[in-house]
Amino acid sequence: DQQVKQNSPSLSVQEGRISILNCDYTNSMFDYFLWYKKYPAEGPTFLISISSIKDKNEDGRFTVFLNKSAKHLSLHIVPSQPGDSAVYFCAASEGYNTDKLIFGTGTRLQVFP
């Protein structure tokens, strides 16, 4: 039973346009959500996070939106660049003492010129 779901395995976007990556979750106890980016043959790198008490967090070209009532979050990349081409993982954690991240299956983003 997957608690964090990324239903789009891949996304293709033109350079300069907006990329929107989506993530759904089922556990209402999750209180922190994170996005990771992964290049081939490398480990995931932390991108941006959001606490469940917020509905938006922005860092440069990256913005994460959280809709708690829909149990949905999204990552917006504006403008998209070819270097953004990677696999993006959504992850969630529950409770301060838990220390565990539950990952989605990832979305492969390709940004073409």
Partner 1 sequence: DAMVIQNPRYQVTQFGKPVTLSCSQTLNHNVMYWYQQKSSRAPKLLFHYYDKDFNNEADTPDNFQSRRPNTSFCFLDIRSPGLGDAAMYLCATRGGSHRGSGYTFGSGTRLTVV
**For binding to partner 1 (CB under 8 A), which residues are involved?**
2, 4, 9, 32, 34, 36, 41-46, 49-51, 89, 93, 96, 99-106
Whichever of 10 and 28 has its CB closer to partner 1, that residue is: 10
Minimum Å gap between C-beta 103 and partner 1 is: 4
Pick between residue 74 and residue 105 the one whose CB is nearest to partner 1: 105
HSE-CB at 87 with a 13 A cutoff on CA atoms is 15
Q: Which of 53, 1, 3, 7 is nearest to 27 (CA)?
A: 3
Compute the least distance from the CB of residue 54 to partner 1, in Å. 10
Q: Which is nearer to partner 1, 83 or 96 (CB)?
A: 96
Least Å distance, CB 50 to partner 1, is 7
The tokens describing 69, both together, are 């009532």
Residue 26 has a CB neighbour count (10 Å cut-off) of 12
Give Cβ neighbours of residue 112 (< 8 Å, ≥ 6 apart).
12, 13, 14, 15, 82
Nearer to partner 1, 14 or 98 (CB): 98
